[in-house]
Amino acid sequence: MSPIPFQFQIVATDGAARRGRIHTAHGVIDTPAFMPVGTAGTVKAMMPDAVAQTGAQIVLGNTYHLMLRPGAERVARLGGLHKFMNWPLPILTDSGGFQVMSLAKLRRIDERGVVFQSHIDGSSHELTPERSTEIQHLLDADITMCFDECTPFPVEEKAAAESMRLSMRWAERCRAAFKERPGYALFGIVQGSIYPDLRVESAEKLKSIGFDGYAIGGLAVGEGQETMLRMLDVTVPLLTENRPRYLMGVGKPDDLVSSVLRGIDMFDCVLPTRSGRTGQAFTRRGTVNLRNARHLDDPRPLDEMCSCPACRGFSRAYLHHLWRAEELLFHTLLTWHNLHYYQELMARLRQAITVGKLAEFVAGFREEQALGDIEPL
Ligand SMILES: [Zn+2]
C-alpha cells in the first residue's frame, strides 16, 4: 500500500467557514480543529489516550523545548516523537522561533538565524531555518512550521516590515530545507503585526513560495480581539482556498468561534491546559474560577451538561478542595474538563457548518456564554 499523501478536503462550507479533513501520515484531522499543546512531549497531567478521549486528533510539540531536552537526535534514535510520547496520531511542531524569543537569553539574531542560551542550563545553541526544519524532521512531525522571527508587540510599522521580510526570506530557506515525504507537510506563517499592508505582502510572498498550509502568526499578543479579527479579515481571503489555515496561539472560546466564522481551520492554545495552574474552567456558561470559596459546600458538578470525568464523578466542592490542598489530581481533572470542552465546541462548530446552521449556533453560543456561571447555592 502506498503512503497517503498530505491532503486537505473541504467537506462543507457555511459562509466563509469550512468543515474539512486533513489527511496526514498518522491519520485524519477533522477541521475546524483545536490542537492541545504538548510542550515537552506531554500534554501536562494527561495520559495520551485521555487526550484522544477528549476528541483531540492532533497535538502540538515545541521544537525549542524538545531540542534542549531530551534533544532532537535522541528522540529520532528512539523512534520519533509519536513513539517516544506514545501518541500515534498526528503531531504538529512549532519552529522554536516564538520560545527562543520569549524564553531564552538571546545572544545574536541576524540573517543567518538566532544564537541563544538555554533557559535550562545556559548552554549555547543556534537555530536557523535549516536547523529548525531538520529538528522537526527528526521529531517526525506530520506538520512542520516555518522558522520565523517573533515580531514584538507593540512595534512600529518599519520594524514590523523588516521583521516580516526577514521571516519571508527564512520561509524560502525552510521550503528548500524541507524533505518532502508523503503525508508530511510544511506550513508558511503570515506575519506583519497589526499592519494590513504588511499582512497582504506577507501572504502574497508565502503563496508565491507555495506551502501545504498557511498559518497566521503574531496575533493574540495583546492587540485585542477586534484588531485580531480585523487582521483575519485582511489576511484570510488572500490565502489559497484549498489549503488549511491555522491561527497560531489562539485562544479563548469566543476567539475560536469568531475565527471559524472567518474561515480558520486550525488552532492551538495553552489556555485549556494551563488552567490547571490557575483554577480556571471553561464552560458553556463562560469561565468558572474554582479557587473561589463559593464552591466550598457546592455538591453540584462543574457543568451538569458536560460528560467529562471531572463533571461526571466529582462536585465543585471536591474540585475546590483539591485546589486548596494542592493535589495533583486537580490538574488532571481540570485539564480533562477544559480539553473536553474545547473539543466539544469544535465538534459542534463542525456539525453546524455541515448542516448550514453556523449563524444560529454562534448566536446560541454567545447567549449561553453571556449567562455566566450558575447562581451560588
Ligand atoms: Zn466537564
Cα of 373 from ligand 1 centre, angstroms: 14
**Confidence bin at 102 (pLDDT 50/70/90):** confident
Between CA 210 and CA 250 the distance in angstroms is 24
pLDDT reading at 2 higher than 70: no
Cα of 302 from ligand 1 centre, angstroms: 6
Provide mean pLDDT across the span 294-315.
Answer: 97
pLDDT at 349: 98
pLDDT reading at 64 higher than 80: yes
pLDDT at 26: 98
Query: Do residues 25 and 367 make contact, with C-beta atoms less than 8 angstroms apart?
Result: no
Cα of 338 from ligand 1 centre, angstroms: 7
Q: Could you tell me the pTM of the whole model?
A: 0.98
Cα of 301 from ligand 1 centre, angstroms: 8
Cα of 12 from ligand 1 centre, angstroms: 29
Provide mean pLDDT across the span 337-365.
Answer: 98
Q: Which residue has the cell 522571527?
A: 149
SS3 per-residue string spanning 11-44: EEEECCEEEEEEEECCEEEEECEEECECCCCCCC
Q: Which of 14, 255, 268, 298 is catalytic?
A: 268
From its phi and psi, is residue 86 left (phi > 0), alpha (psi between -120 and 50) or beta? left
From its phi and psi, is residue 328 left (phi > 0), alpha (psi between -120 and 50) or beta? alpha
pLDDT reading at 4 higher than 90: no
pLDDT at 16: 98
pLDDT reading at 73 higher than 90: yes
Task: Give Cα 25 distance to the centre of its chain.
Answer: 19
Cα of 355 from ligand 1 centre, angstroms: 26
Between CA 219 and CA 344 the distance in angstroms is 24
Q: Which of 14, 94, 148, 265 is catalytic?
A: 94
pLDDT tens per residue across span 271-292: 999 987 899 999 999 999 999 9
pLDDT tens per residue across span 24-40: 999 999 999 999 999 99
Between CA 302 and CA 288 the distance in angstroms is 8
373 in active site: no
**How many Cα atoms are found within 13 Å in the side-chain-facing hemisphere of 327?**
13
Query: Do residues 335 and 278 make contact, with C-beta atoms less than 8 angstroms apart?
Result: no
Cα of 329 from ligand 1 centre, angstroms: 14
pLDDT at 3: 75
pLDDT at 75: 98
**Confidence bin at 1 (pLDDT 50/70/90):** low
pLDDT tens per residue across span 108-143: 999 999 999 999 999 999 999 999 999 999 999 999
pLDDT tens per residue across span 142-180: 999 999 998 999 999 999 999 999 999 999 999 999 999
Mean pLDDT score of the chain, rounded to an integer? Answer: 97
268 in active site: yes
